[in-house]
A = this chain, B = another copy of it.
Amino acid sequence: MPEIITQSIQDYLKHIYELNEHGGSASTNDLAARLNIAPASVTGMLQKLASSKPALVVYKKHQGATLTKSGEKAALEVIRHHRLLETFLVTTLGYSWDEVHTEADKLEHVISEDFEARMAEALGNPTRDPHGELIPTADLTMPADKSRPLASLRTDETATIQRVNSRDPNLLRHLDELGLIPNVQLEVIAHSTFDNNLTIKSGRKTHVLGLNITTKIFVI
């Protein structure tokens, strides 16, 4: 029970969680890239996390890592902190959605449970952060997500933006300028089979978006 979950462990767990959502298990290299750390260092940490008292991770040589139940709880705790913080920063300190990530990345490890609870209450227990990402509930469950990438839509389909899965400030600022933010409706006007560009109409504006963008925007 008394395991010490340090800040860097929290970071590992958070990124393993996110990588697990996509493909199956989180590879050493992907983790290293996300954490800005040498792959060798990741190996060492994964071995440690896999053999800690209550294992936080299931790890098989050359096959990457998966979270255990307790690892997932710990990850969701950090993610809840992160997303509540982002929401808090936007609504109470006027941050824009492209600025919140960096700040939340630092604060998420440091705030108390009390702080978390006070934020949640002050914000009216929000279910999504400023990017539209789901906020894990107080009992550390991740609500189901039904959205699909904008890239999967075809001509004449219509949808509503639910979330933007990117932490790149430039992309976020750009989308903000285009008015492509959560809850905005759009219609696919055309699809190019060559480069997979999508031409979409939103309000009275039309945009042509490449895969780099359409795979980051999720709609419903």
Chain A residues with a Cβ under 8 A of chain B: 92-95, 99, 102-103, 106-107, 110-112, 114-115, 118-119, 122
Contacts and interface: CB of A to CB of B under 8 A. Distances in A.
Copies of this chain present: 2
A118 to B, nearest CB: 4
A102 B114 CA distance: 11
11 contacts: A92-B122, A93-B119, A94-B118, A94-B122, A95-B118, A99-B114, A103-B111, A106-B111, A106-B112, A107-B107, A107-B111
Contacts of A118: 93-95
A106 B95 contact: no
Nearest to A119: B93
Contacts of A115: 93, 103
Contacts of A106: 110-112
User: Which 9 pairs between the two chains have the least Cβ-Cβ distance?
Assistant: A93-B118, A106-B110, A110-B110, A92-B92, A103-B112, A103-B115, A107-B110, A93-B122, A94-B118
Contact of A102 (B94, B102, B112): B112
Contacts of A103: 111-112, 114-115
A119 B119 CA distance: 16
A71 B118 CA distance: 35
A115 B119 CA distance: 16
A76 to B, nearest CB: 21
A99 B112 CA distance: 11
A94 B121 CA distance: 11
Nearest to A112: B103
Nearest to A107: B110
Contacts of A102: 112
A160 to B, nearest CB: 31
Nearest to A122: B93
Contacts of A94: 118, 122
A95 to B, nearest CB: 7
